[in-house]
Structure 1
Amino acid sequence: MSLAVSATAAWQSERNRLLGIAYRMLGDFGHAEDVVSEVAIDAVRQERKADGHRVESWPAWLTTVCVRRSVDRVRQLAAVREDYTGPWLPEPVDTSRLPEETVANRELLSLTLLHLAEQLAPEARAALVLHRAFGMSAPEIADILEKTPAAVRQMISRAERRLDIDPDAPAPRTKDGAALEKLVRAIEQGDIDTVVAMLDRDAVLWADGGGKVKSAMNPVFGAERIGRFFAGILGKAATFDPVQPVRTRIIEVNGEAAVLLWHQGRSDVLLIDGGLDGRVRELRQVANPEKLTRLSLGEP
């Protein structure tokens, strides 16, 4: 077997895991696929070098290159996202389209955490992803990021605090299915009072239209304002379709339940995040049609 075939075989074996790392780092599946493809090219080039250097562990080498390329891509995308029209949200992906290895470990896979991770510096994001989602130790991560283990532990600790992640929790929080069903019914029926009653007083909604469809240009803060936001949607939807203004369906996105909304001839995906008191504290509405291409939207 030639070295090039060995590199290719190693990449094929590790591809799904690499994709899981890159997607969690970038929040964009297309960019994650690009990064993983670039890693394949790097691996072949590495084996073809004439200096006689042999790769001792392809999984370790591929992981290192994937993380470093992802860090670079995060920095490149930061400038692009500064010019993004309205709030930027990660690209949701139909759970059935995600690699099995990515779905099996749902840590840091939810849109909520992918969105919150945008607050972190690229290397801190990498440290958190490798530690929480892939169980890597601080010394292992330190070798990849060229940091000391102590510095890596500090990055992970700070990132967990910033994202409000319980360091002792082995699995991500589960969504309240009953709350989601109740919200779906209220939206379909135009019952804004119930929608508002389900929200925490200080709830916040991010709506990502990307300038492609009409949406809130800034985060919407407070239950009453969010209620008026949905009332506006329902009012316009009733003008567009008086018989059934809004249609809904629960779908699985990034390993968690979400609401698919059809209204005014368009599709939106709505995800909610609640507190221990059962009230909804955060809502994320992805409406940019360019971000919904990896979902099975079906027909309304």
Structure 2
Amino acid sequence: MSNDGATEPATTEAFLAHRNLLFTVAYEVLGSAADAEDVLQESWLQWVKADRGQVRDQRAFLVRITTRQALNRLRALKRHREAYVGPWLPEPLLTAPDVAEDVELAESVSMALMLVLETLSPTERAVFVLREAFDVGYDEIAEAVGKSPAAVRQIAHRARRHVDARRPRREVSSDEGRAVLESFRRAVDTGDPQILLDVLAPQVVLMGDGGGIRHATLRPVTGAERVARMFTGGLGKVQGTLTTEPTMVNGHPALLVRLDGEIDGVMAISVEDARVTGLYYVRNPEKLSRITATTPLTLR
């Protein structure tokens, strides 16, 4: 189908109508906003070349081509991530309050779940995301990932079992998350190890992502006492004025950390039973471009 001047506006409008959805799909598959944007560019080129007269459902078609592009990119990125310096954390996104209010959306983009998705194979991740987050049918997923519907059902079952064994036991309300974050923030400000121990879960895990560009822990630190020592010891070595401010990252409460007024990083948390179970500190400057303006996300 040719793309003359008469059809181009409709083509563009159709893509833009679903852009936030397509970005969310690509981001959940990849864990990287920068790569998700590249995937959207590639998907746009595929959309422009498509014979839209044969497209019965524009949304389904666009989700399908976006998933294919994201899956191809994720496979190519796997080797790069395996060679990454220190832990690899998802790129944090500054999100509006409506993301936190949508419980399903907030869970699907949470740092805790995104890290679990990193342990899946690329195909398992794409299948899980499409099925669990976006409620896409098995036949449509099969077309997107190049598998039979029967194989997709098996992959979905295996991926769900894997994720359920590792995801948080229950979702925490935004109010509870903010209350725990504020308690943690006060504990860090005081530098008192006991106050920190009171807010940290016994088996809390601290992960830092400096990408080899900024200093960060090269492996996860586990246990409340070890994490508390990391904070109290590390804060004493900081050269300059460190400040924190509450923000919303990936639909959940987080801290924006500044050093002498400049953004140093983002610290996301996971919470269970009113205590911090996970601390995810992203310092890699290449991953901090999305925390000064909100990123619109949607499952629909």
Indicate the TM-score class for this superposition, using the shorter chain for normalisation: 0.7 to 0.9
Cα–Cα, structure 1 residues 97 and 26, in superposed 2: closer, same or farther, change >3 Å?
farther
* Paired position in structure 2 for 1:24: 28
Question: Structure 2 residue aligned with 1:274, among 244, 252, 271?
Answer: 271
**SS of equivalent to 2:90:** coil
Please give the alpha-carbon distance, in whole angstroms, between the structure 2 residues aligned to 1:2 and 1:75.
38
* Paired position in structure 2 for 1:260: 256
**SS of equivalent to 1:163:** helix
Please give the alpha-carbon distance, in whole angstroms, between the structure 2 residues aligned to 1:163 and 1:94.
25
> Quick check: 1:16–1:99 contact (8 Å CA) kept in 2?
no
Question: Structure 2 residue aligned with 1:38, among 22, 30, 42?
Answer: 42
* Paired position in structure 2 for 1:87: 87
* Paired position in structure 2 for 1:164: 164
* Paired position in structure 2 for 1:138: 138
Task: Please state how far the C-alpha of 1:281 moved relative to its aligned partner.
Answer: 1.8
> Quick check: 2:207–2:219 contact (8 Å CA) kept in 1?
yes
Please, what TM-score do these two structures have when normalized by structure 1? 0.84
Which region of structure 1 is more displaced relative to structure 2, 135-144 or 110-119? 135-144
> Quick check: 1:7–1:47 contact (8 Å CA) kept in 2?
no
* Paired position in structure 2 for 1:174: 173
Cα–Cα, structure 1 residues 109 and 117, in superposed 2: closer, same or farther, change >3 Å?
same
1:28-59 Cα distance to aligned partner (Å, 9 max, x none): 111101101111111112239xxxx7333332
1:250-278 Cα distance to aligned partner (Å, 9 max, x none): 10111111012234765221112122x33
Root mean square deviation of aligned Cα: 2.9
Task: Please state how far the C-alpha of 1:105 moved relative to its aligned partner.
Answer: 3.2
Identity %: 37
Unaligned residue ranges in structure 1 (runs of 5+): none
Given the alignment of the two structures, is residue 211 of structure 1 paired with residue 208 of structure 2, yes or no?
A: no
Question: Structure 2 residue aligned with 1:11, among 10, 15, 33?
Answer: 15
* Paired position in structure 1 for 2:113: 113
Please give the alpha-carbon distance, in whole angstroms, between the structure 2 residues aligned to 1:84 and 1:24.
20
Please give the alpha-carbon distance, in whole angstroms, between the structure 1 residues aligned to 2:130 and 2:274.
31
Please give the alpha-carbon distance, in whole angstroms, between the structure 2 residues aligned to 1:256 and 1:199.
17
**SS of equivalent to 1:217:** coil
Task: Please state how far the C-alpha of 1:119 moved relative to its aligned partner.
Answer: 0.7
Please give the alpha-carbon distance, in whole angstroms, between the structure 2 residues aligned to 1:186 and 1:272.
14
**SS of equivalent to 2:268:** strand
* Paired position in structure 2 for 1:221: 222
1:84-143 Cα distance to aligned partner (Å, 9 max, x none): 11111011111149999x999334111221222111111111111112221222233223
Unaligned residue ranges in structure 2 (runs of 5+): 294-300
1:151-173 Cα distance to aligned partner (Å, 9 max, x none): 32332232233222799x9x954
> Quick check: 2:116–2:166 contact (8 Å CA) kept in 1?
no
Residue type at the aligned position of 1:174: S
Please give the alpha-carbon distance, in whole angstroms, between the structure 1 residues aligned to 2:9 and 2:182.
50
* Paired position in structure 2 for 1:291: 287
**SS of equivalent to 1:69:** helix
Please, what TM-score do these two structures have when normalized by structure 2? 0.84
Task: Please state how far the C-alpha of 1:64 moved relative to its aligned partner.
Answer: 1.1
Please give the alpha-carbon distance, in whole angstroms, between the structure 1 residues aligned to 2:165 and 2:204.
19
Q: For CA contacts below 8 A with separation 6 or more, give which structure has more relative contact order.
A: 2
